[in-house]
Copies of this chain bind each other. A is one copy, B any other.
Amino acid sequence: MMHLIEGGGKRLRATLPWLVGKAVGDSHSGLLDIGAAIEIVHNFTLVHDDIMDDDDTRRGLNAVHIEYGLPTAINAGDAMLAIAFERLVGAKGLDHKDVGAMVNRLAWMVRRVSEGQQLDIEFEDRIAVSEEDYFEMIEGKTAVMFLTCAEVGSRMAGADDETIQCMADWGLAVGLCFQLMDDLIDVLSDSDTLGKPAGSDLAQGKRTLMVIHALSQSDSSELDNLKAVLGKGEDATQEEIDLGLLALNKIGSVDYAREKAEMYHSKAHACLDRLPDSPAILALRELTDYQLKRIS
Contacts and interface: CB of A to CB of B under 8 A. Distances in A.
Interface of A: 45, 48, 51-53, 70-72, 74-79, 81-83, 85-86, 88-90, 94, 96-97, 99-100, 103-104, 106-108, 110-111, 114-115, 117-118, 121
A97 B45 CA distance: 30
The main secondary structure of chain A at its interface with chain B is helix
A81 B110 contact: yes
B78 A114 contact: yes
23 contacts: A48-B74, A48-B78, A51-B74, A52-B74, A52-B75, A72-B121, A75-B114, A76-B114, A78-B78, A79-B111, A81-B81, A82-B111, A82-B114, A85-B85, A85-B104, A85-B110, A86-B107, A89-B100, A89-B104, A89-B107, A94-B100, A96-B96, A96-B99
Contacts of A74: 48, 51-52, 74
Copies of this chain, whole number: 2
A115 to B, nearest CB: 7
B121 A107 contact: no
Nearest to A48: B74
B51 A70 contact: yes
Nearest to A112: B82
A108 B90 CA distance: 12
- Which of A51, A114, A115 is the most central at the interface, judged by chain B CB atoms within 10 Å of its CB? A114
Give 9 closest A-B pairs by Cβ, nearest first.
Answer: A79-B114, A52-B71, A82-B110, A85-B107, A82-B111, A99-B100, A86-B107, A99-B99, A89-B100
A85 B71 contact: no
A237 B115 CA distance: 41
Given A86-B108, A89-B103, A99-B96, A52 B70 contact: yes
A64 to B, nearest CB: 13
Contacts of A111: 79, 82-83, 86
Contacts of A52: 70-71, 74-75
A117 B72 CA distance: 9
B107 A82 contact: yes
Contacts of A97: 96
A96 B100 contact: yes
A90 B104 contact: yes
A79 B110 contact: yes
Given A85-B103, A96-B96, A100-B89, A75 B110 contact: no
Nearest to A45: B78
A48 B78 CA distance: 9
A121 B94 CA distance: 37
